[in-house]
């Protein structure tokens, strides 16, 4: 019998307890600014737990942070009994928490709220220190070692397998590991090797970019010092790390100068599009990663199919981004840009190119774009009447879904490639536009289509 480990991974539950209010103008306002489901989170989480409980051969469940909706105490207390269902059935559950799970002054992403009538009010808040007590029974109670300052811990999952549960919640200015935490990590890896155990890790923020543009538009949503840390972990012996936060389906790979590999397996939010959990099997030689997407939950999704509802909410959020960039830039800078970790100051610095491009996108079809840039021969008839803004929404959605489909032989790719080459040539004399245009053009191969490894499933050498 091979030495095998099986586990499920779920992340970004963002649980919103129904007692916080699921109707009224206040709730509708909260919902309008969020791509995730709110009142349906409990039903979604329950359905995935039911699916896990059906699997008698898989007895480990990893929960990868942002378990609550902005740290509301009510949401934590409503989630914990759900996790206990797994423990009561004999599953080992390991939880880490993250920035959306507690509140400190200035950490607005962890500021829990409740919706009462027309108003959005502050709910009972959760402190970072309280999280240890709330979730101690889910992993820390069986820890081999605990790094108290970071709330990280190591745990024996099964014979021959250890897990590093790395908390990187930081203070929103640096979500990563200080040197003391890194030295503790080094020590735990050394202990695992001495015991003959295979060791891997979970952490919340992406260690490798889940999209080529991510470090540029959302660098604060990456693990702090991600390049340095990824190389250090890989060279120390961590080959697989499972992450969340970006809400993307992505598997990224880095090879260090020393020839060591590390894979970052990023997974979507459980309660937003595309709503997926991972199933992972480690055997003697390989790691098998698959993805499970449910589409039936005991909740009303405004009469829609749940996946279609989540897709609609995701598109509505993206359309709001594009609309405010084009026609309401103050709202974009002060309310919307924070979704991409843009400060208002940074958003205003980019106002000229973003506002200009935003307005152009609304009026453009591919045919008009071809005429405007003099690349009509590069526009295939089947995409000529397609709106460029709508295509941009689809491209972003595809990045979150993973396995992006527009390979170099598709008309969409050929049109985009020709457009960016032409724009780069035309804007070459404008120094302040040269760098962003060249950067965007260089990202096509990672944004329009996915190069290996694929994002939803695969088998990798252990």
The predicted model gives 181-201 an average pLDDT of: 97
**Structure tokens given for 201:** 């890790």
CATH of the domain at 276: 3.60.21.10
Position 443 scores a pLDDT of: 73
The reply to whether 241 and 179 lie within a common domain is yes
Give counts: helices (H), strands (E), the chain: 16, 15
The reply to whether 151 and 242 lie within a common domain is yes
133-147, 167-181, 310-324: least confident range: 167-181
Report the alpha-carbon distance of residue 62 to residue 46 in Å, rounded.
15
Of 294, 312, 338, which marks where a domain is finished? 294
Position 442 scores a pLDDT of: 65
Burial class (CB within 10 angstroms; exposed 0-12, middle 13-18, buried 19+) of 358:
buried
Helix (H) or strand (E) holding 200: strand 198-203
The reply to whether 250 and 386 lie within a common domain is no
The reply to whether 260 and 355 lie within a common domain is no
The reply to whether 164 and 225 lie within a common domain is yes
Going by pLDDT thresholds of 50, 70 and 90, the confidence category of residue 433 is low
CB 215 within 8 A of CB 209: yes
The predicted model gives 185-206 an average pLDDT of: 97
List phi, psi (to 5°) of 338.
Answer: -65, -20
Going by pLDDT thresholds of 50, 70 and 90, the confidence category of residue 435 is low
Q: Could you tell me if residue 304 is inside a domain? A: no
CB 356 within 8 A of CB 368: no
The reply to whether 89 and 212 lie within a common domain is yes
Closest CA to 243 of 296, 167, 179: 167
Contacts of 449 (CB under 8 A, 6+ apart): 404, 405, 406, 407, 408, 410, 413
Position 295 scores a pLDDT of: 95
The reply to whether 228 and 374 lie within a common domain is no
Q: Indicate the number of domains in the chain.
A: 2
Burial class (CB within 10 angstroms; exposed 0-12, middle 13-18, buried 19+) of 338:
middle
Closest CA to 389 of 317, 318, 290, 295: 318
Closest CA to 140 of 186, 94, 104, 176: 94
Q: What is the pLDDT of residues 77-109, one digit of tens each?
A: 999 999 999 999 999 999 999 999 998 876 665
Position 242 scores a pLDDT of: 98
Q: How far is CA 307 from the centre of its chain?
A: 18
Position 48 scores a pLDDT of: 98
Q: Could you tell me if residue 187 is inside a domain? A: yes
Q: Could you tell me if residue 61 is inside a domain? A: yes
Q: Could you tell me if residue 458 is inside a domain? A: no
The reply to whether 114 and 212 lie within a common domain is yes
The reply to whether 249 and 353 lie within a common domain is no
Hey, what's the torsion of the CAs at 221, 202, 250, 217, to 10 degrees? 10
Say whether 144 sits in a helix, a strand or coil: strand
Q: Could you tell me if residue 310 is inside a domain? A: no
Position 110 scores a pLDDT of: 60
Q: What is the pLDDT of residues 394-403, one digit of tens each?
A: 999 999 999 9
The reply to whether 221 and 134 lie within a common domain is yes
Write the CA distances from 361 to 358, 387, 436, 456, integer angstroms.
Answer: 5, 8, 17, 31
Q: Could you tell me if residue 324 is inside a domain? A: no
**Domain ranges, residue 236:** 5-294
Q: Could you tell me if residue 317 is inside a domain? A: no
DSSP state of 336: I
CB 175 within 8 A of CB 99: yes
Position 426 scores a pLDDT of: 81
Q: Could you tell me if residue 141 is inside a domain? A: yes
Going by pLDDT thresholds of 50, 70 and 90, the confidence category of residue 440 is low
The predicted model gives 270-282 an average pLDDT of: 97
Position 245 scores a pLDDT of: 95
Of 270, 294, 318, which marks where a domain is finished? 294
Name the average pLDDT for the chain: 92
List phi, psi (to 5°) of 10.
Answer: -125, 150
102-116, 232-246, 297-311, 433-447: least confident range: 433-447
Going by pLDDT thresholds of 50, 70 and 90, the confidence category of residue 434 is low
Closest CA to 62 of 204, 192, 191, 178: 204
Q: Could you tell me the sign of the dihedral formed by the alpha carbons of 170, 174, 179, 184, in that order?
A: positive
The reply to whether 65 and 213 lie within a common domain is yes
Q: What is the pLDDT of residues 207-244, one digit of tens each?
A: 999 988 888 777 778 999 999 999 999 999 999 999 99
The reply to whether 201 and 272 lie within a common domain is yes
Of 246, 270, 294, which marks where a domain is finished? 294
């Amino acid at each position: 019998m091979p030495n095998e480990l099986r586990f499920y991974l779920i992340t970004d539950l963002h649980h919103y307890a129904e007692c916080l209010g699921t109707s009224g103008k206040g709730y509708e306002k909260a919902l309008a600014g969020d791509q995730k489901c709110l009142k349906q989170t409990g039903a979604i989480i329950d359905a995935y737990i039911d699916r896990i409980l059906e699997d008698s051969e898989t007895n480990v469940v990893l929960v990868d942070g942002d378990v609550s909706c902005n740290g509301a105490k009510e949401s934590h207390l409503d989630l914990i009994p759900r996790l206990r269902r797994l423990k009561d059935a004999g599953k080992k559950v390991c939880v880490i928490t993250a920035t959306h799970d507690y509140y400190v002054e200035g950490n607005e992403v962890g500021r829990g709220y409740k919706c009462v009538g027309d108003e959005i009010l502050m709910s009972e808040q959760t402190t970072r220190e309280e999280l240890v007590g709330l979730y101690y029974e889910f992993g820390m109670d069986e820890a081999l070692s605990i790094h108290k300052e970071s709330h990280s811990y190591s745990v024996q999952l099964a014979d021959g397998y250890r897990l590093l549960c790395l908390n990187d919640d930081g203070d929103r200015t640096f979500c990563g590991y200080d040197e003391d935490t890194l030295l503790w990590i080094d020590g735990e890896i050394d202990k695992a090797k001495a015991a003959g155990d295979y060791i891997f890790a979970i952490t919340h923020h992406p260690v490798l970019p889940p999209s080529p543009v991510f470090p540029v538009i959302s660098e604060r949503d990456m693990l702090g010092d991600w390049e340095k840390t990824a190389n250090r972990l890989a060279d120390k012996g961590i080959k697989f790390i499972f992450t969340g936060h970006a809400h993307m389906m992505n598997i990224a790979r880095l090879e260090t100068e020393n020839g060591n590999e590390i894979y970052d397996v990023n997974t979507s939010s459980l309660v937003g599009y595309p709503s997926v959990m991972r199933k992972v099997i480690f055997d003697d030689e390989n790691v098998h990663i698959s993805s499970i997407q449910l589409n039936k939950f005991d909740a009303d999704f405004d009469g829609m199919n749940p996946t279609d509802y989540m897709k609609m909410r995701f598109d509505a959020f993206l359309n709001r981004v594009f609309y405010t960039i084009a026609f309401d830039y103050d709202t974009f800078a002060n309310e919307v840009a924070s979704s991409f970790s843009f400060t208002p100051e940074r958003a205003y610095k980019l106002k000229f190119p973003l506002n200009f491009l935003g307005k152009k996108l609304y009026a453009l079809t591919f045919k008009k774009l071809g005429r405007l840039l003099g690349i009509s021969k590069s526009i295939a008839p089947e995409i000529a009447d397609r709106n460029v803004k709508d295509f941009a929404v689809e491209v972003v959605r595809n990045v979150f879904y993973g396995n992006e489909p527009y390979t170099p032989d598709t008309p969409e790719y050929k049109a985009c490639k020709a457009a960016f080459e032409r724009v780069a040539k035309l804007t070459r004399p404008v120094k302040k536009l040269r760098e962003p245009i060249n950067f965007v053009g260089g990202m096509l191969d990672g944004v329009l289509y996915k190069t290996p490894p694929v994002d939803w499933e695969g088998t990798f050498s252990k």
